[in-house]
Structure 1
Amino acid sequence: MVNTTATKLHYDIVGSFLRPQQLKQARKQFEAGHITHSELTVVEDDAIKDLVRKEKEAGLKIVTDGEFRRSYWHLDTFWGFKGIKHTIPEHGYFFHDEETRADSARITGQIAFQADHPDVKAYQFLQDLIADDGDVTARQSIPSPAQFYAELVRGEENEAAAKKYYPDETKLITDIGQAYHDLIIALYDLGCRDIKLDDCTWGMIVDEGFWKAMTNGAFDRLELQKLYLKLNNAALVDLPDDLRISTHICRGNYHSTWAASGGYAPVAEQLFARENVAAFYLEFDDDRSGDFAPLVAVPDGKQVVLGLVTSKKPELESQADLIKRIKEAAQYVPLENLSLSTQCGFASTEEGNKLDENQQWAKIKLVIETAKKVWN
């Protein structure tokens, strides 16, 4: 039976947390060659132990490692696959008022899972921390297969490399799906029963200008949706029945800014109706995400986690306003199938959003207290 912790609680998190200062400092020291990787790992281990303790104290029953071993929410996972190299292009991602660091992933050979993938090592440590606590579930978040593909064709050089090694796109889709499937099974074998696919492709495909830039000028919204759906679902076949797979949809989260705008209506019939996941974690913290009407496309029995509390700003939302919006969403999805969370993580990259740790935990407290008031 699939783990139902998130469903029963009706409150949740997206997963990344602000990096503590000592961890940021250690990463800088490692990059400068002043400490070894083993010394960095010790700092990461200590920071994760402290984070998990704080998550439990806050009342969270689903915990993460805060993505403390990653620089990015997505690229570190991509770099861990065979046939992929870390590249530094001329530009990073262009957000609303900032350009990110310039890093990317490029194909150098056949894509495949590797047993020493960093996400496997990271999850093993997290699982060991909570192994004796039957009241807590350890979640692993990974970027979606569609996000992987989008990165591999981002920019002319990446696209040229993809065509060089994969002239047949069907083979590329197959290998991405298999690499992800193998990663998921490796995590499952370590005890993971809750995996979330973080995915900006759907949250950005609704923004026509953004995707014209991402796809080098070629843009067919429906064809892209079909491609991304095929990529994601290819990884989600023949999985164990007791493994919960969910997805988080976002429009960009970097240093409290965003990359795209647009409601879910243009993608609802593909994403909500056809992606083989049990739950959708959806960004709804401001007008950029549109209204709740597209949720009517969510199949009966699937869960929707409403990201109503922003992780981008320190100010606390009004609990009354949150409750009102939850009731509005319940017009389209039954209340028992809804939950509440922050709209995204607090640090999708190691830079983190523009709030402090106390404000971060205040946001989580608001989520939990509001959920208990609505559903208990």
Structure 2
Amino acid sequence: MTKQTATKLHYDIVGSFLRPSELKRSREDFAAGKIDHSELTAVEDDAIRDLVAKEIDAGLKIVTDGEFRRSYWHLDTFWGFAGIKHTQPEHGYFFHDEETRADSAQVIGKISFDPEHHDLKAFQFLHDLVADHDGITARQSIPAPAQFYSELLRGEENVAAVNKFYPDQDELISDIGQAYHDLILALYDEGCRDVKIDDCTWGMVVDHDFWEHQTNGEYDLNELQDIYLKLNNTALRDLPEDLRVSTHVCRGNYHSTWAAKGGYVPVASHLLAQEKVDAFYLEFDDDRSGDFAPLAEVPDGKQVVLGLVTSKKPELESKQTLAERIKEAAEFVLLENLSLSTQCGFASTEEGNKLTEQQEWAKIRLVIETAQEVWGE
């Protein structure tokens, strides 16, 4: 697959899917000690086989494993690096009207890539599933290096742990970047040609209220952006030419609620103009996301995937309205460089959003049909 295959289709997905009821029960049984890890893995394998078949049948050319082996879209990946442990702080993440489960990642030593990282093993299974399907590409989504950094500094205990092992912030940035770079190259060696970097940091930094709460008002917007950009671009340096790297910017997606608000204007000159990715997957499903004007910062030739169809609600958007909004975005990015998707996945955590699997697939059909009508393919 070349870097352009995904966007020539002009329709795509973000990647996570609602967990089947049997998979949810099995995860609960595993947590309760009723089944062992091999039994859980067998259930995960069956659920992923079924999902991939459904994705292909729906007409998707880029498929994922639905993140069925994860509890969280981000923490599971962090826990797979050397020098990191799974912790349970007093509080989870605070969303608009809900608090999540309380889990985090904390430094316990120097950070590095672990060749036994579970994301690598998960991709190997997905890749083997589609190896004999012409025209089908297996995508691996991983949370951004900036997201990892942000998590390691969430709360006083995490900050103290970072300061113990990394009194020099430049060394922390370097080690995070190297660990990610090694993970991406290991995925590439297993046949991965499409990596998506999921990143809430940019979606949070635009929300003044969020950061007032997060840092007690003590933060510098430009300094944060410089750090996030350096973290991500350090990981993305010197990658193979035939590896398509994209990023998805999110404002929080938990049980159909959200964590932050604000348009892309404050981060456009960093994120959109300078991040070393081939494509941007951007949320534009409601007023919290702002308008399309910041897209003018996207360099010529890069792709923008418009997240106009919400994954948070079951109601279907109007095709006409979607087409009109795509036309508006084309004032800033060439139509040929635009695509359509849902604004986020359907289950960033195993809880999932508040809609049914039938409604989930109706959303995907809407994305595909609208794209085919707009781009005539």
TM bracket (short chain): over 0.9
Q: Which amino acid aligns with 2:124?
A: Q
CA 1:216/1:161 → structure 2, altered by over 3 Å: closer, same or farther? farther
Alignment of 1:267-278 (within 5 A): 267-278=267-278
2:14 paired residue number: 14
- The C-alpha deviation readout for 1:187-209, integer Å capped at 9, x for no partner, is 00000000000000001100012
Q: Secondary structure at the match of 2:195?
A: strand
Please give the alpha-carbon distance, in whole angstroms, between the structure 2 residues aligned to 1:302 and 1:22: 40
Deviation per CA, 1:16-65: give whole Å up to 9, x if none.
00000000000000000000000000000000000000000100000000
Cross-structure match for 2:195: 195
* DSSP-derived class of the 1:98 partner: coil
Structure 2 CA distance for aligned equivalents of residues 170 and 21 of structure 1: 44
Deviations 1:255-276 (A, max 9, x none): 0000000000000000000000
What is the distance in 2 between the residues matched to 1:114 and 1:57? Answer: 35
Matched, 1:62 2:62: yes
Q: How does 1:157-196 map to 2 (within 5 A)?
A: 157-196=157-196
| 2:274 maps to amino acid | R
Distance in 2, Cα, partners of 1:203 & 1:176? 21
CA-to-partner distance for each residue in 1:156-196, whole Å, 9 max, x for gaps? 11011111100000000000000000000000000000000
What's the secondary structure of 1:52's corresponding residue? helix
Write the distance in 2 (CA, Å) between the matches of 1:177 and 1:209. Answer: 29
How far is 1:217 from its partner? 4.2
Aligned partner of 2:85 in structure 1 is 85
User: Residue 213 in 1 paired to residue 213 in 2?
Assistant: yes
| 1:133 Cα deviation after fit | 1.0
Q: How many residues align?
A: 376
- Matched-pair identity in %: 75
C-alpha displacement of 1:2: 3.6
The residue type paired with residue 235 of structure 1 is: A
The match for 2:296 is: 296
Give the alignment's TM-score, normalised by structure 1.
0.99
Counterpart position of 1:351: 351
Question: 2: CA distance between counterparts of 1:199 and 1:58?
Answer: 27
The secondary structure found in structure 1 opposite 2:102 is coil
Q: Which runs of 5+ in 1 are unaligned?
A: none
Q: Unaligned regions of 5+ residues in structure 2, if any?
A: none
1:218 positional shift: 2.2
User: Which residue matches 1:50?
Assistant: 50
1:334 is matched with which residue? Answer: 334
> Which residue is equivalent to 1:229?
229
Deviation per residue, 1:353-376 (Å, 9 max, x gap): 000000000000000000000111
**Aligned twin of 1:325:** 325
Equivalent-residue separation in structure 1 for 2:60 and 2:66 (angstroms): 13
TM-score of the pair, normalised by structure 2? 0.99
1:38 paired residue number:
38
Question: For residues 201 and 268 of structure 2, what CA distance do their matches in structure 1 show?
Answer: 13
Who is 1:253 aligned against?
253
Matched, 1:374 2:370: no
For 1:312, the equivalent position in structure 2 comes to: 312
What residue number does 1:287 align with? 287
Q: CA deviation at 1:216?
A: 5.4
Q: What is the alpha-carbon distance in structure 1 between the residues aligned to residue 215 and residue 84 of structure 2?
A: 20
Large movers: runs of 4+ above 4 Å = none
Give 1:4 deviation, angstroms: 2.0
Cα displacement string for residues 239-263 of structure 1 (whole angstroms, at most 9, x for unaligned residues): 1000000000010000000000000
Q: Which residue of 2 aligns with 1:94?
A: 94
Give the superposition deviation at 1:232: 0.2
Query: Conserved in 2, the CA contact under 8 Å of 1:154 and 1:215?
Result: no
Counterpart residue type for residue 342 of structure 2:
T
**Is contact 1:15-1:66 (8 Å) kept?**
yes
Instruction: Read off the aligned partner of 2:122 and give its amino acid letter.
Output: A
Distance 2:132 2:77 in 1: 28
CA distance in 1, matches of 2:2, 2:170: 31
The 2-side partners of 1:327 and 1:111 are apart by 45
